[in-house]
Homo-oligomer: A and B are copies of this chain.
Amino acid sequence: MPGVKISIIGAGSASFSLRLVGDLCKTKGLSGSLVSLMDIDKNRLNAVHTLAKKYAEELGSDLRFETTMNLEDSIKDASFVVNTALVGGHSYFEKVRQISEKYGYYRGIDAQEFNMVSDYYTISNFNQIKFMFDVAKLIEKLSPKAWLLQAANPVFELTTLISRVVPINMVGICHGHHGVDYIIEKMGLEKQKVDWQVAGVNHGIWLTRFKYEGKDAHHLIDELLEKELKNFKPTNPFDDQISLVAKDMYEFYGRMPIGDTVRNGSWKYHYNLETKKKWFGEPWGGVDSELGWKWYQERQAERAIITQQVAKYFKEKPKAKLLSKETQQAIISTAKDDLKKEYTKEVYELLDPEKKSGEQHILLANALLNDEKVDLVLNILNKGTIPGIADDVAVEIPVYADKNGIHPYKIDPDIPERIKKMYLMPRILRMEWALEAFLTGDRRVLEEFLIRDPRTRSYEQVVKVIDEILALPENEEMRKHYSKK
């Protein structure tokens, strides 16, 4: 096999990049490929490179790697470009969050604009959207036949924007639908006997079909919720697939919200920390709270340290084995117990030749390249798949992929009208407003966006928060962009 070139933009994100590398190592059809690791953070890039080579070696796979800090070099000749970059990193979002909360925009994922938690800022992350847009246009110029696999957020906005405007092959990829696997495991069902579908938009997908042995099995969801929520106590801030929020949304909308959809309910669940705790459970009140996000940030920082330690270790001892006792002792001696466990588990899974990561990128690449048909859940333009949603809006839907491309399955049964009109459409409108702002550079659109935000009390509040965000030194380009009108 000659292999192809696969570019990972933002490859410094170790756990994500290594999951892709692991999948690649275990995919015969992509043997011989060149993985181009691109990042602007040299340290992180080198660490990932060292580890990627190590995994490839221990898995005995025929992969080549290159590292580059130059975007064009990485994209040139690529057949697949996985874009997972986070421009400005989490520290930028933290700055925006602080400014926003100062002006009364308390964190809550429903808003998905100024001051949202996580990395899903739709109107204040101009630099992120601009970068993703530029990458897409660069692909059009340098590798017009390549596929762009958009992994970085905001997936919904970016998939819609790029698919509408840039004539390349592209798809948005998220793993939120694995919430269904979690539910099935909790029920103790045989996976093969469950027939399910999810549909919606990114971070807003719903379990539209749930059958066991050919029969509707929603009663099993009722039972599961009943059982699990008697003494609900999340194990971590992300543990919300079976939660009081999920149950409340399930009861109101008639279908189970899957993955980040649960975080993305209305302000009913987010007004303040007390409300969040009530709905998402103690002690954190979910990940989209002061406490939950702190937990996540600290954990991320610790994991970054482990990554650097591990990379340094293998740089010095290239012949050491990933799972040897010595290695384990040497590299994670300082980490907390649960992080040690998590890390070791990940290494085991990465080295297990039978186990793939659950990320869809490599499965998709293999299907497109080698015609190995595979079922996935991807973000592509609707084009009639979900009735009542415009053709040119990116939806997250079940599809199969093969050498002829990506083919949506019929959504059967359809998404209930209440979900479309009360959950999906409001979210779709906010996406449209974000793109309207981005494409026109009209500051008034940002203003109107916030005027419709339930956290806004006055026009002055809107003006002030936008002014202060635009005044951040890293937002010089954004400032210019929004001075056009």
Contacts and interface: CB of A to CB of B under 8 A. Distances in A.
Interface residues on A, range: 20 to 34
A268 interface: yes
A271 interface: yes
Contact of A436 (B267, B422, B448, B451): B422
B421 A432 contact: yes
Nearest to A454: B454
A407 interface: no
A457 interface: yes
A422 B452 CA distance: 10
A193 to B, nearest CB: 33
A8 to B, nearest CB: 34
Given A252-B448, A388-B390, A268 B433 contact: no
Contact of A266 (B266, B275, B451, B457): B451
Nearest to A428: B425
A192 interface: no
Interface string A418-450: 100110011001001100100000001101100
Contacts of A268: 447-448, 451, 459
Interface string A365-377: 0000000000000
Interface in A28-68: none
A231 interface: no
A274 to B, nearest CB: 10
Contacts of A271: 457-459
A40 B458 CA distance: 44
Interface in A394-424: 417-418, 421-422
Contacts of A239: none
A456 interface: yes
Contacts of A444: 252
A467 interface: no
A271 B463 CA distance: 14
Given A426-B429, A459-B275, A267 B451 contact: yes
A225 B453 CA distance: 30
A382 to B, nearest CB: 13
Contact of A426 (B390, B436, B452, B454): B452
Interface string A258-270: 0000000011100
Contact of A454 (B252, B421, B453): B453
Contact of A421 (B421, B426, B433, B457): B433
Nearest to A458: B271
Contact of A456 (B267, B429, B448): B267
Interface string A456-475: 11110000000000000000
Contacts of A447: 268
A276 to B, nearest CB: 12
B454 A456 contact: yes
Given A426-B429, A454-B454, A418 B436 contact: yes
Contacts of A454: 451-454, 456
Interface in A224-257: 252
A67 to B, nearest CB: 42
Contacts of A426: 429, 452
A346 to B, nearest CB: 39
A425 B425 contact: yes
Interface of A: 252, 266-268, 271, 275, 388, 390, 417-418, 421-422, 425-426, 429, 432-433, 436, 444-445, 447-448, 451-454, 456-459
21 contacts: A252-B444, A252-B448, A266-B452, A267-B451, A267-B452, A267-B456, A268-B448, A271-B457, A417-B436, A418-B436, A421-B429, A421-B436, A422-B432, A422-B433, A422-B448, A425-B429, A426-B452, A451-B454, A452-B454, A453-B454, A454-B456
**6 nearest A-B pairs in the assembled complex, by CB-CB distance:** A421-B432, A454-B454, A266-B451, A268-B451, A252-B444, A271-B458
Given A418-B436, A421-B429, A425-B429, 20 more contacts: A266-B448, A266-B452, A267-B452, A268-B448, A268-B459, A271-B458, A271-B459, A275-B458, A275-B459, A418-B445, A421-B433, A421-B436, A422-B432, A422-B436, A422-B445, A422-B448, A426-B429, A426-B452, A452-B454, A454-B456
